[in-house]
Structures are given as C-alpha cells and as structure tokens.
Amino acid sequence: MTHHVVIVGAGFGGLAAAQELAGTDVKITIIDQRNHHLFQPLLYQVGTAVLATSEIAWPIRHLVRKRKEITTLLGEVTGVDTLNRRVLLDDGGVVAYDSLVLATGARHAYFGHDEWEPHAPGLKTLEDATAIRRRILLSFERAERETDPDARAALLTFVIVGGGPTGVELAGAIAELAHQNLPEDYRRIDTRKARVVLIEAGPRILPSFAPDLSAYAHASLQRQGVEIQLGRAVRACSADGVIYGDRPLAAKVILWAAGVRASSAAAWVGLPADAAGRAKVEPDLTAAGHPEIFVIGDTATISAWHGNPVPGIAPAAKQQGMHVARTIAKRLRGDAAARNFRYKHAGSLATIGKRAAVIDFGAVKVRGWLAWWLWGLAHIYFLIGLRNRLAVALSWLWIYFTGNRSACLITQGERLTGQ
C-alpha cells in the first residue's frame, strides 16, 4: 500500500511540504478549511485598498492540479485520533494517515479579552482584510456626512494596536491613503486631517529589528503623519475608542495587530503548549511519542535558531515543511534516523510607506528607498504565478505614479450605519 501523507493546512508550511514531496512514492491528501492558499504578508494591502483579494490568494486545488498523487479536501479539522491514525473533521468525516503534518497556523489573539474583537478586528484572512477595508472606507464616508465636529474627529481617527511589522505596515498604508490618496475625493472633509495613531506597549516599534532600524521606522512614520504612542498597553477597546495606559482616545476604527494564538494542534495530539498555544515539538518537529506526526509553522514552537525560538514567519514555516517532507522521504528509503531541524534566517523586512522600508539581514541593514524597492521585488518574486506578479506590480506602479488606489470598494453590505 502506498504511504499516505495527510497535510492539514495549505499555508506556507503545508504547501512547502507537499511541494518537497514531489517525486516521492506517496499519496498525499491536503485538507484545508479554506479553498485558497493566502499570501498573508500582503493582506494589509487588501485591507487598505491597494490590492484586490484575487491578487494574493490562489485556489489550492489549482496549485496542485498537475500533481496527480495529491487529493485536496475542503474541510475543518477538529481533532486527531492518534491511536487509530485518523484525522477528524467537523462534519464527522475521518481521513486515515500513515504520516501526518499539522500546519494549521495561528490567528490574532486579544490577551484574554476576546470581547474586544468586534471593536478591534485583526488581520489573518481575506474576510478580515475586506472587513477592515470596509471599516476604513465607511468611516471616511460617515465623516463626510457628519456635522458634529467631535463625532467627525472620532470617525477620522484610526488606531492601530501593536507596533510589529503588521501594525507598522497598516499605519503607514492608512496614513498614505488618508493624507495622499483620498484628499481629492472628498468635498466636506479634509482627509489630510485624519489621525493615524499607532499604540505599542513596548519601548519601541519593530522590536524584532535592530534598534537603529526601529528608530528609522519611527521617524519615517512620524514624517508620514502617524502618531506613535509607546510604553502604554491598551486596556480597553469599545465602539467608541480605546483606553491606553490611563488615556482615553475616541476612535471609530481600531485595528488589532498585537498578539497571536496558535491553532488547536497541540490539544489535538496532546502536546504541551507555550503561552500562545504553540505546540512544543521535538527537535525533529515530531510530536513526542508520535514519530509519524509532525507539527510545523506558526502552530509549533521550537528553539532551533541558535538556541532561540524560531520566528513565526513564512520562511520558517516553509523550511519546516521542506524538512518534514525530506524526513518522510528518507524514512521511506529505510533511513529512520531523527533529523533535527535548524532554522536559517535570511532577514526581516517591513515596509513603512511609499519609498520607505527596513530590511535587517543581520550583518547588513538596509533602509529607505533601496529597502523599499528590495521589499517590493522580494514580494513579487514570492507571489505565485506570472499573472499575479504582473497584476501586483502594475497596481503598485499605478499607485506610485498616480496616487489612485483602484481597490477602494466597500463590499459585504453597503449600509452606512453599523459595521
């Protein structure tokens, strides 16, 4: 019987595992709760009306159409029967496996305050991005009709919680939208007066970058008109705004970019987890006591980066996916030796706005317009397919030269009231 590899999650890790298994004598089943693979690094650009959804997502089925040994199933996994080696689906379905790769990622988390989510949505899925875009654009629309100055000011105040790469990218993109792209479109409001406030509880933004790059990003965001509040944690989020430290701030759009929570993979296979719910895996990425189960990417934690935890970024998930695929292939060739995973860090990137980005390669650090062009080229390179590369490059060049964002569409309900 052909060895059956079940991969749960067709994100960066799961897809890399499937790709690396090409040519190995296995049959593969990919299960994902969504029908598309998503390029999350550019999600914020869908949320801020730069790109359309179809430019950063691809049907999984289509991506693996030439690999006849791969079956793709749309379904939500709710558990794993480790004794009988079966994956359990929410509709009662089961899928048997010989090897199992759990690559189910993470979602944003609210530090125990899930009640904040309706007021401060996070960014993880295409639906999140279009909902955020809708919120931002609706707020400008409402402000255009609002006559009360305080209410109008709240509608034109955009708060981003969390100063990591996603928060920084969102803040820069919203400031650019409000201060550069939209002013001509409105008659009663001056969108240049919109406030974009980035709140970070720690002492600096981009804490995973070198301090001088953080400082550069800070100054660069401020030049774009972003207000940065450091050292005060958000204590409350409501429909009327936030309280950070002891300060209230009236704002109708609050976006959450502050914390993540791993999928339930650790619980499915009975593994210990860290504070963010990430499964603690063995050095070879297997689940303790279950060499046939691998847990990878954002849903796992492992100190395999010179003794430090591997970061929750796409290249790490990809490297882990490739590693487990090679382990499975070697086992099938009779080599059962455990192969410890070692993470190789190529660099950290974040864009701050038009012509400004930071790249931390470790020994080499790049900032400014050169980093911005490198960031753009790297992202275009990692997109899948020529059509999307051309479409994204064209959208960026169009905005760069004309300032017009073509994706300023309010969808999913057109009402001016409610969210």
Ligand X SMILES: Cc1cc2nc3c(=O)[nH]c(=O)nc-3n(C[C@H](O)[C@H](O)[C@H](O)COP(=O)(O)OP(=O)(O)OC[C@H]3O[C@@H](n4cnc5c(N)ncnc54)[C@H](O)[C@@H]3O)c2cc1C
Binders in 263-282 for ligand X, by CB under 6 A: 263
Nearer to ligand X, 11 or 241 (CB): 11
Q: Restricting to residues 97-156, which ones interact with ligand X according to CB under 6 A? A: 103-105, 123-124
- Of the pair 100, 249, the CB lying nearest ligand X is at 100
Q: Is 292 a catalytic residue?
A: no
Q: Which of residues 304-343 bind ligand X (CB under 6 A)?
A: 312-315, 317
CB nearer ligand X, residue 43 or residue 234:
43
How many residues belong to the site for ligand X (CB under 6 A)? 33
Residue nearest to ligand X (CB): 11
Interface of this chain with ligand X, residues 241 to 260, rule: CB under 6 A: none
From the candidates 55, 169, 200, 282, which is the catalytic residue?
A: 169
Residue the block writes with tokens 């749960």: 8
Interactions with ligand X, residue window 9-28 (CB under 6 A): 9-14
62 lines the binding site for ligand X (CB under 6 A): no
Q: Which C-beta is closer to ligand X: that of 348 or that of 395?
A: 348
Q: Which residue number, 250 or 374, has a Cβ lying nearer to ligand X?
A: 374
- Nearest distance, CB of residue 100 and ligand X, angstroms: 13
Taking CB under 6 A as the criterion, the residue among 19, 71, 76, 391 binding ligand X is: 76
Taking CB under 6 A as the criterion, the residue among 30, 51, 77, 226 binding ligand X is 77
Residues 161-220 that bind ligand X (CB under 6 A): 165-166
Rounded least distance, CB 201 to ligand X, Å: 19
In the complex, minimum distance from the CB of residue 380 to ligand X, in angstroms, rounded to a whole number:
13
What is the CB neighbour count within 10 angstroms for residue 416?
10
Q: How far is the CB of 316 from ligand X (least distance, A)?
A: 7
- Residue 173 vs 317, nearer CB to ligand X: 317
Catalytically active residues, by annotation: 169
* List of residues contacting ligand X (CB under 6 A): 8-14, 31-34, 40-41, 43-44, 76-77, 103-105, 123-124, 165-166, 263, 297-299, 312-315, 317
